[in-house]
Structure 1
Amino acid sequence: MILKSKGVTVLFKQLSVGDYVISNVIGIERKTAIDFAKSLVDGRLFDQAKRIAETFEKPVMILEGNFEDIQRFVRIHRNALLGAYISLGIGMNIILIQSKNEEETAEIIKRIALYQQKMYKSSTALRPALKVNKGGIAEWQLYILQCFPHIGPKIAHRIIEKFQSIRNFCNASIADLSRIEGLSERKAAEIYQIINLLAIDKNDRTKYIIDYLKKEEKDGDNVTQ
């Protein structure tokens, strides 16, 4: 795999949204020129775009290949392509990045990941002390929720809308959590276990992780990025 050859650590998992997840904030959808045109024609494009835009604060779509040649392979008017670019970029706030080929796509993904790591370290080191005053409770609630895996700003807002408080969120069942758009049952189960598992020793924790990974393998043998 090209990403691995560039020194990037890649975890292969079944993803419900996007092709690559950099963090809770950044998700990436990769589209070759032909796939972009075909998915525009059959209606998949905007469904996929809507889901990634709703799940991540910074949704990215990498457009790979020579888009000038699309009309040689797919019967589609150039104005339809231009309209799609505008709808995705301006209407849905998706970051569109052009790449020449698979090699350049891998380099772009690597640089996005490095940038995200750099920004995370910077924001962590420079984060100011927050004062909880009138109107500040909601900010604290959103901040706390985003400390959990799989929860970014958009999902955090949905959680507050549904549960109203951190207490209600912590008391929620796996079924309740999985009803939040963007949280699959597996993600909900992971969050539930973080909230409810007692402190355990190292050996027990290792056993729990192994059991959890075995369950994931059993649930789905068809693994993609």
Structure 2
Amino acid sequence: MIKEHVVQIIVDYHEAPSGLIDELSEYEYETKTYHLTTNVETTRLEIGDIICSDRVGIERKSVDDFINTIINHERDLAGQMADMTRAYKSPQVILEGETVFGIRGVHPEALRALKAMITVNFGIPIIPTMSVEETAAQVVTIARREQFRDKRKISIPHTKRSTMTMPQMQRYVVSSIGGGVGGTKAERLLKHFRSVRKVMNASIDELCGVEGIQKTTAEKIHKVIRSEYKA
């Protein structure tokens, strides 16, 4: 006998223009053992765009969103990621689109630095998808795994958005790089380079030009930012 699996998903109503809510609502498939459908609740989420369980929250970023973050709102992303780690035990980022490289003249190193901040500084995995249809399929897979395999409930976290000031968020990001960078050195790096992105893009020699940053520390910072994430 085929079992009915109804996957519960909570989505922020701001996702409606992207088509994601429609894709999730219409998602359905059948295997030899079960028939899967979805029950999608739309609401205003304080943190994140999609909730799959009491521990999994997802921030969805289109390629354009990601590029705009670098060009116009780089600093906002650090606050979003900090909020995600506070609100969800297993936060995720879905990056939707064919490629982020070679678009609108943004240097590839800036894109890699931003990805490094998300994965290394905050420990949040980035799941790439090619389209809104693939995003919906990935979300349903995560939600089904959480709710039917791991028997997790679904709930909206009570965590509120961070009230950290912009300088506090910037210091938090830089001080989390590792390699011996604490609050004092993070402050010096930011005063010298004037932005998180410029710290991330700095060469070893440029890092060594900052008071208190020795070559060994600079090499560690450089390695952490540019190393591929391997969980």
In 2, the alpha carbon distance for the partners of 1:12 and 1:31 equals: 18
Q: Which residue of 93, 96, 105 maps to 2:123?
A: 93
8 Å Cα contact 1:20/1:28 also seen in 2: yes
Task: Please point out which of 86, 96, 114 is paired with 1:54.
Answer: 86
- 1:1-225 matched pairs, under 5 angstroms: 1-6=22-27, 7-41=37-71, 42-43=73-74, 44-68=76-100, 70-73=101-104, 75-121=105-151, 150=156, 182-183=159-160
Give CA-to-partner distance per residue, 1:182-212, whole Å, 9 cap, x none. Answer: 158xxxxxxxxxxxxxxxxxxxxxxxxxxxx
Report the AA paired with residue 94 of structure 1: I
Structure 2 distance, partners of 1:77, 1:18, is 27
CA distance in 1 between counterparts of 2:132 and 2:155 reads: 29
Q: Distance in 1 between matches of 2:120 and 2:138?
A: 21
SS at match of 1:49: helix
Deviation, structure 1 residue 71: 3.4
The one-letter code matched in structure 1 to 2:133 is E
Specify the SS of the correspondent of 2:59: strand
Partners of 1:84 and 1:183 in 2: CA distance = 24
Counterpart of 2:106 in structure 1: which amino acid? I
Gaps of 5+ in 1: 124-146, 156-181, 185-225
Q: Distance in 2 between matches of 1:30 and 1:2?
A: 14
Higher relative contact order (CA 8 A, sep 6+): 1
Partner-residue secondary structure (3-state), 1:17: coil
**Equivalent-residue separation in structure 1 for 2:156 and 2:45 (angstroms):** 12
Distance 1:76 1:32 in 2: 15
Question: How far apart are the structure 2 equivalents of 1:106 and 1:55?
Answer: 22
SS of alignment partner, residue 41 of structure 2: coil
Amino acid at match of 1:60: Q
What is residue 129 of structure 1 aligned with on the other side? none
Q: Identity of aligned pairs, percent?
A: 26
Structure 2 residues not aligned, in runs of 5+: 1-21, 28-36, 162-231
Residue pair 1:63, 1:98 contacting (<8 A) in 2 also: yes
The structure richer in helix per residue is 1
- Give the SS at the match of 1:30: strand
Matched AA of 2:97:
G
The answer on whether the counterparts of 2:46 and 2:160 sit within 8 Å (CA) in structure 1 is: no
Q: What SS is found at the alignment partner of 2:102? A: helix
Aligned length: 129
The match for 1:158 is none
Across the aligned residues of Structure 1 and Structure 2, the Cα RMSD in angstroms comes to: 2.3
Which protein is richer in strand relative to its size? 2
